């Protein structure tokens, strides 16, 4: 897994994605942090004439993690899905390396870049905090938690992407299936709430409350659950007393909210379960199915059942609503039949750039 040839091939294959990954993260993390310090310092210069100054700086990692997750998914798709899409796995697997080593080399290569990028940005944050206007009003500990949480979450999402790549036959299906799996807990919560409501004659307001409850519970099942409700927030106002949500007095303008460390359990489970599963599947994936949506024919029936059911429930919820049981099942059956017909045809197609 540490063979130089494998690492050089991974770099050659994913170098542009890696460079994009680093550059965008430098922009949304370090540059934005420096820009905020410069802006607050400029505000200070403007307000000195009134002998009054307030300081306000916030970061919502829940928003940042969406961009980072998209980049990690693209990286995972390039390292595995691209081989299948352009039919280059024949050459790769003909090299004198075990398939498990090939897969682990891809995983370690991506994880190394994730950890390296976050460590470098952590160091830049520490330097900027000490040398800019932020130093007067901020403490650095919330950023320590952020980089720790982000590391585990991004590794979990990357592992999930590679796992999907071991059963997906091309780069397009790998990307779509990964995105669907990530948001599936939230979508299922809405679909289940709608199904229960239409059969219990609940009002729209009750359904909406039930959806929110289910979505909050489903959030703990996602890989990025530690980033939900994570908030780094510093607010200095000399005319206000600092109190938290419980009315406790604060000695500094730090209103940061950090989710419990137990939230890390979900992405850790993703990593511990999906990594050995991915290694097992990659070593046994059939090469002749490259280009199809799924590599394993035995998974197609289960995939069709699950996909048709989800889309049927979605169609029933959107088209039929929750006020009429008849219209609900008309939407359910109509969407289900259309999804089944389309999916049955799509699963037979091969997508590749080689024309094979």
Nearby residues of 352 by Cβ (< 8 Å), 6 or more positions away: 84, 85, 86, 87, 170, 290, 291
Segment (H or E) for 330: helix 325-346
Q: Which of 293, 351, 281, 296 is nearest to 85 (CA)?
A: 351
3-state helix, strand, coil in the chain (%, to 5): 75, 5, 20
**Alpha carbon 18 to its chain's center:** 17
DSSP 215-236: HHHHGGGSTTGGGTT-BEEEEE
What the block records as the tokens of 151 is 């590391």
The yes-or-no verdict on residue 68 having pLDDT over 60 is yes
Find, among 278, 270, 269, the residue nearest to 174 by Cα. 278
Instruction: Report whether 182 contacts 176 (CB < 8 A).
Output: no
| Burial status of residue 117 (CB atoms within 10 A of its CB: 0-12, 13-18, 19 or more) | buried
pLDDT, residue 244, reads: 56
Task: Retrieve residue 322's tokens.
Answer: 């929750």
**Rounded Cα–Cα distance for residues 153 and 143 (Å):** 15
| pLDDT exceeds 60 at position 245 | no
Residue spans of the domains in the chain: they are: 4-187+221-292, 297-349
Mean pLDDT of 293-306: 87
pLDDT, position 113: 95
d(CA 246, CA 40): 29
Tell me what percent of the residues of the chain surpass a pLDDT of 70.
86
Q: Which residues contact 127 (CB under 8 A, 6 or more apart)?
A: none
Residue 70 in this model has a pLDDT that exceeds 60: yes
Task: State pLDDT tens for residues 141-158.
Answer: 899 999 999 999 999 999
Model confidence pLDDT, tens digit, residues 16-63: 999 999 999 999 999 999 998 888 888 777 776 666 677 778 888 888
Q: Cβ(312)–Cβ(336) under 8 Å?
A: yes
The mean per-residue pLDDT over the stretch 202-210 comes to 66
C-alpha dist (Å) from residue 267 to 107, 195, 259:
16, 29, 14
Q: How confident is the model at residue 251 (pLDDT cuts 50, 70, 90)?
A: low
- Classify residue 96 as exposed, middle or buried by CB count within 10 Å of its CB (0-12, 13-18, 19+): exposed
Residue 251 to residue 231: CA distance in whole angstroms: 19
Residue-wise pLDDT tens digits, 156-193? 999 999 999 899 888 888 999 999 999 888 888 888 88
**Token code pair at residue 194:** 């709608």
Q: Report the chain's mean pLDDT, rounded to a whole number.
A: 84
Task: Give me the helices (H) in 77-203, please.
Answer: 82-85, 89-93, 99-131, 141-165, 171-200
């Amino acid at each position: 897994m540490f063979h130089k040839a494998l690492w050089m091939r991974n770099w050659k294959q994913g170098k542009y994605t890696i460079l994009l990954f680093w550059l965008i993260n430098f922009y949304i993390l370090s540059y934005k942090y420096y820009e905020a310090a410069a802006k607050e310092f400029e505000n200070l210069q403007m307000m000195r004439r009134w002998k009054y100054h307030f300081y306000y700086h916030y970061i919502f990692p829940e928003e940042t993690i969406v961009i980072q997750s998209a980049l990690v998914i693209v990286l995972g798709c390039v390292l595995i899905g691209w081989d299948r899409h352009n039919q280059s796995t024949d050459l790769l697997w003909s090299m004198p390396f075990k398939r498990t080593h090939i897969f682990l080399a891809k995983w370690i290569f991506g994880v190394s870049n994730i950890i390296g990028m976050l460590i470098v940005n952590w160091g830049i944050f520490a330097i900027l905090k000490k040398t800019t206007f932020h130093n007067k009003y901020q403490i650095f500990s919330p950023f320590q938690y952020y980089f720790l949480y982000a590391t585990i979450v991004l590794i979990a999402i990357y592992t999930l992407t590679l796992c999907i790549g071991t059963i997906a036959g091309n780069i397009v299906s790998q990307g779509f299936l990964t995105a669907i799996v990530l948001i599936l807990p939230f979508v299922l919560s809405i679909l289940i709430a709608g199904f229960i409501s239409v059969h219990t004659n609940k009002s729209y307001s009750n359904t909406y409350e039930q959806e929110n409850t289910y979505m909050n519970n489903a959030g703990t099942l996602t890989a990025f659950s530690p980033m939900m409700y994570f908030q780094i927030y510093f607010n200095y106002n000399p005319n206000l007393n600092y109190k938290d949500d419980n009315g406790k007095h604060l000695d500094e303008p730090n209103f940061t909210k950090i989710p419990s460390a137990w939230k890390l359990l979900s992405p850790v489970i993703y990593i511990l379960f999906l990594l050995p599963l991915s290694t097992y599947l990659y070593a046994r994936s059939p090469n002749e199915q490259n280009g199809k949506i799924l590599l394993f024919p035995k998974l197609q029936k289960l995939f069709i059942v699950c996909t048709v059911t989800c889309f049927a429930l979605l169609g029933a919820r959107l088209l039929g609503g929750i006020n009429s049981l008849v219209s609900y099942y008309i939407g359910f059956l109509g969407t289900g039949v259309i999804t089944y017909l389309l999916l049955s045809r799509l699963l037979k197609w091969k997508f590749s750039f080689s024309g094979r």
